[in-house]
Structure 1
């Protein structure tokens, strides 16, 4: 589980011959991918089949696209699902969610999926005219398999695809000169809701992960450009892949892609952007994303992806819907943290408060940070999270009623917290005994909060949420997931503990190179201050805190 690489940083004639430990972006990517993939896989087996919002519709769409049906046939009536032809065991998936929106009903009400029912029959899906790219990838799990194994295979494909881009966020953060606070922000932003969606058949999770990867990779690219160093090919590949796939996840994803990219650019100077665009590899990455966006936009318009949205309730006047959305702004925090099932299982209050504290601390630091330039990205993302949901709900409420869910904006919420970490990265970060202890206990509390939400989900499915406290009754469950809830909980806690150990070690690296003298510091035109070129590279990475604080004031 090593994510650090020991390097000799200084030649013999340098001011320091000491060794230092730097995070290796490649090792961070591989290690985080494995850890996040394991967390998502555990959620895949812990959540009963069809227990995630709209999972039957997405599974039917994925199976249809994997068999060459990129779009379904429509009745022409707004709010009605489209029709596709799929094997019978897929077509009947909607019948296995008898416990949906009934928190006191366990999944034992469902019959076992008939793996032998492979007769092609029509099936309804609300995702019938959505972009087929995501579904083509996930739907591969239904080819060659049948019944429950096919559904779990599609879930696991989604899990490891999403986990790669979640890991890419930390890989890009490791490429920043001051990576500590962006990494902390990433750890805070990945709530239980993110991992819950990662383990399901739903493009929402890929949208969240890809948005964060686009933002963080572009921030790292622009920082390297500002320093006039060679841009990492790995970062360019991450940006190209994340941007290209993000454009195809959901109809709103093109908007999220534009906002994530613009937010990253607002965190850096215009010369850094222009310098990066002169790199042919960067031009190729931008071209790939642009072509992908063009196809995605063509699909949204030609397939009329917004016209098969299911009606959520009775018609609501636009002004009433707007006021109600504003009133529920803070209430959506619970959904950002971890509302499980078909919005029928609220997260424990203690877990919600933990993330309210974490989100609030990051936002407060970001809005009081230097340089001031970084705050513009925070303003853009904050307005996105607060205003766009209100506009979208109000614009559709008279036709479709109430359709908005907190998870629809989770991509921008995660990006906003990541932006807060990037904005505050210039504040001094010192590894002290007190700071190390604070970090250690914060990680322990985060692990407990994640586990608490997971256990709440297990209680809901094994017994149902009753009118009395029934934790002890879980020893005699009415329903058990594959591997039992006890085994899955133990594995979940173990993976979280390993992740916490890696995170703590990463954030408590003690640089051994000496602090450069004041005469050796060289100001740069892009607003950063660097040590003299003859110092080891690690000194430049870890000894910029007080320098950047002063240079930040000059950038206002």
Structure 2
């Protein structure tokens, strides 16, 4: 998402951002690709459902008739038989994935149901074509990597924005906190939720400076990133319009303290805005025609709405852990310190922004909180008698990633100096990136050998077990280490180059990454 256009008025030349984008993209892609290579088939929540939908869309079955294909919802698709596999180890953490039949090359078309059969087809059309050509492991891995590459490109764009527009680079730290191990696992799978999380982070990274920075003209790179990610959010999942509306209310108002009036005078802004509105309207029309709001019946609970509200509030402890990473099929929990460390850094950003921020900053944090916490919880309470408790923490990550990025923006704009900002970014690198690697290793142990009854250094062995990834166990580990070192080194490097202590907007013309490697 980096651009090399000439500087606009009030903007100094910024060489090297294309190289920053490339390095960040490679880093994120290696991290996500490691998860793609490590996971068994249907190794992440609902992947088989999305694989079937993707293969069906790629074969031209774009709008199958809504049917009671799975738990009273979904649709039927005709897909290669090699992709239709039964579950045997999901929700059984002591059992490895060795009992499962891997995807095969049988391209005989069979009719099978999928809970994702009514979803918007755009994402599935992009990732689904390898599944119809190579329905075995080759097609599945390539489909996963396409999804991972889209997420990596979006997050690399967010990284460049954090470098260029974040006064003291603290938004880089906010991005590292927002891209949790759960976000990495979902980005690695055939599942639109992974791209949605990345698009949410990219959208907020662009919209924050676009609507709040006081430059005389909108920067084309910000418009491009906001436009592309906004279009994706409108179409990926049913919650996209809610996220876009939350961002608009949070940053466009109060009118006098945002750039909305000035932006609307720009033709490019109007075109991008119109495209996003059209995408939202067509997505809503698709939802009505395909009945995507019918989630099916998952064993509704006999609750009064008051009881359901208290039960939902109690479940937020679990949602917070899920946002960090309760991996595999929500059956693999890390040791408690991993959650506490990640959540402490996230809470420090949000609480600090509330303390340092002005009244308008607190208003914006409140709007993001309502959109990311209150509304999803209210929807869950309203539907609990039909669906039971089906909400997961990962569903809230796209909006809450925006809250973390805005909190970092407020910290450095209102309170934190360059030295302490650098310390906080580097603390995020030192504490969080090892947790990323540990989560991958721990989840590989679960997939390959089942979770041990007691965790010891001896049982934490990603090379043991009766199941191994199709590319071997060493491949995802090496890829993850390389990606984390590259991304961490890049974040460490840019954090050492804050802007001068002035009131001018960020424009890091000092950023010139080395051509080879990182010092």
Q: What TM-score do the two structures reach when normalised by structure 1?
A: 0.83
- CA gap of 1:174–1:538, structure 2 versus 1, over 3 A, is closer
CA deviations over 1:103-130 (Å, ceiling 9, x no partner): 0111111123221x21111110011111
1:37 to 25, 29, 48: 29
1:25 Cα offset (Å): 4.0
Mapped partners of 2:192, 2:168: distance in 1:
29
1:472 aligns with 2:462: no
Mapped partners of 1:236, 1:498: distance in 2:
27
Tell me which residue corresponds to 1:165.
Answer: 154
CA deviations over 1:38-95 (Å, ceiling 9, x no partner): 11111101111101111111110011111111122334697243211112112x13x1
CA contact (8 A) 1:254 1:293 kept: yes
2:388 to 378, 385, 401: 401
1:220 Cα offset (Å): 2.2
1:140 to 129, 152, 168: 129
CA deviations over 1:422-481 (Å, ceiling 9, x no partner): 22231355454x875665454222222111211111111121113233542435322211
1:52 aligns with 2:38: no
1:261 Cα offset (Å): 3.1
Mapped partners of 1:437, 1:408: distance in 2:
31
* Pairing 1:372-521 to 2, within 5 Å after superposition: 372-427=359-414, 429-432=416-419, 439-469=425-455, 471-473=457-459, 474=461, 475-509=463-497
Mapped partners of 2:203, 2:164: distance in 1:
14
Count of equivalent residues: 500
1:123 to 112, 115, 121: 112
* Pairing 1:263-412 to 2, within 5 Å after superposition: 263-266=250-253, 269-270=256-257, 272-307=259-294, 309-319=295-305, 320-412=307-399
- CA gap of 1:365–1:438, structure 2 versus 1, over 3 A, is closer
1:506 Cα offset (Å): 0.4
Mapped partners of 2:18, 2:345: distance in 1:
28
1:88 to 81, 85, 95: 81
Tell me which residue corresponds to 1:13.
Answer: none
* 3-state SS of 2:77 partner: strand
CA contact (8 A) 1:103 1:460 kept: yes
* 3-state SS of 2:413 partner: coil
* 3-state SS of 2:247 partner: helix
Q: Which runs of 5+ in 2 are unaligned?
A: 5-11, 512-519
* 3-state SS of 2:235 partner: coil
CA deviations over 1:319-365 (Å, ceiling 9, x no partner): 23222111121221110001111111112212101111111100111
CA contact (8 A) 1:176 1:223 kept: no
Mapped partners of 2:504, 2:40: distance in 1:
54
Q: Which runs of 5+ in 1 are unaligned?
A: 6-19, 517-528, 542-556
* 3-state SS of 1:503 partner: helix
1:29 Cα offset (Å): 2.5
Mapped partners of 1:378, 1:66: distance in 2:
41
Mapped partners of 2:273, 2:421: distance in 1:
40
Tell me which residue corresponds to 2:515.
Answer: none
Tell me which residue corresponds to 2:66.
Answer: 74
CA contact (8 A) 2:65 2:75 kept: yes
Tell me which residue corresponds to 2:7.
Answer: none
* Pairing 1:164-243 to 2, within 5 Å after superposition: 164-176=153-165, 178-224=167-213, 226-228=214-216, 230-243=217-230
Mapped partners of 1:87, 1:147: distance in 2:
9
- CA gap of 1:333–1:438, structure 2 versus 1, over 3 A, is closer
CA contact (8 A) 1:172 1:216 kept: yes
> How big is the alpha-carbon RMSD for the aligned residues of Structure 1 and Structure 2?
2.9
CA deviations over 1:240-299 (Å, ceiling 9, x no partner): 111111111111211112112332334884562111110111111111111111211111
- Report 1 or 2 for greater relative contact order, CA contacts < 8 Å, sequence distance ≥ 6: 2
Mapped partners of 1:188, 1:267: distance in 2:
28
- CA gap of 1:327–1:232, structure 2 versus 1, over 3 A, is same
Q: What TM-score do the two structures reach when normalised by structure 2?
A: 0.89
Mapped partners of 2:492, 2:68: distance in 1:
55
- Greater gyration radius: 1
Tell me which residue corresponds to 1:544.
Answer: none
Mapped partners of 2:451, 2:346: distance in 1:
28
Tell me which residue corresponds to 2:517.
Answer: none
Mapped partners of 2:197, 2:184: distance in 1:
11
1:113 aligns with 2:99: no
CA contact (8 A) 1:266 1:376 kept: no
Mapped partners of 1:405, 1:537: distance in 2:
38
2:145 to 142, 148, 156: 156
Mapped partners of 1:423, 1:445: distance in 2:
22
Mapped partners of 1:470, 1:430: distance in 2:
42
CA contact (8 A) 1:335 1:407 kept: yes
